[in-house]
Amino acid sequence: MAEKEVLLTREGLEKLEGELDYLIRVRRREVAERIKEALGFGDISENSEYDAAKDEQAQVEARISKIRGILRNAVLINNDEDDDTEEVKVGYTVVVKELGTGKEWRYKVVGSAEADPSNHRISNESPVGRALLGKTIGDQVAVTVPAGVLHFEILDINK
């Protein structure tokens, strides 16, 4: 079975490559040193330092594996300078107004691997992201979320 493509912005690709490099070159060594140090405490059957270091090693290795999988399946979002900003695309920033409250929100629509809602980076696969894709300034969208239906108007679109 083919693995799913992972959309990444240039920024997201560079961030993941940097994290992978850090995990491999720095964190692996740090954890290996902690394991070595913990082994020096003697019997590993009741050595909480050793257990904690091995758990940390497993977490680091799992993250390395996950990032490698993402990078292996990465498709770089190429929003050329010539691209227009008439419609919302992955990699674009969109300003919306919630019609019920009048609050304005600025979201960058990114691939799922880069999504970070607390930093206003929403996945193109999320309900809001899916609803915004392909829309233009002035369009209104209704988005079904767990709390109900939200209504937005698109105010601006930028690269």
Buried b (16+ CB within 10 A) or exposed e, 90-128: bbbbbbbbeeeeeeeeebbbbbbbbbeeeeebbbbebeb
Residue 92: partners with Cβ closer than 8 Å, 6 or more residues away? 79, 85, 108, 109, 157, 158, 159
Examine the pLDDT at 111 and tell me if it is beyond 60.
yes
Topology at the third CATH level for domain 93-158: Chitinase A; domain 3 (3.10.50)
Residue-wise pLDDT tens digits, 93-106 = 999 999 989 999 99
The CATH code for residues 6-76 is 1.10.287.180
pTM of the model: 0.79
Using alpha carbons, select from 76, 105, 104, 109 the residue that is nearest to residue 92: 109
Domain boundaries defined on the chain: 6-76, 93-158
For residue 82, the model assigns a pLDDT of: 57
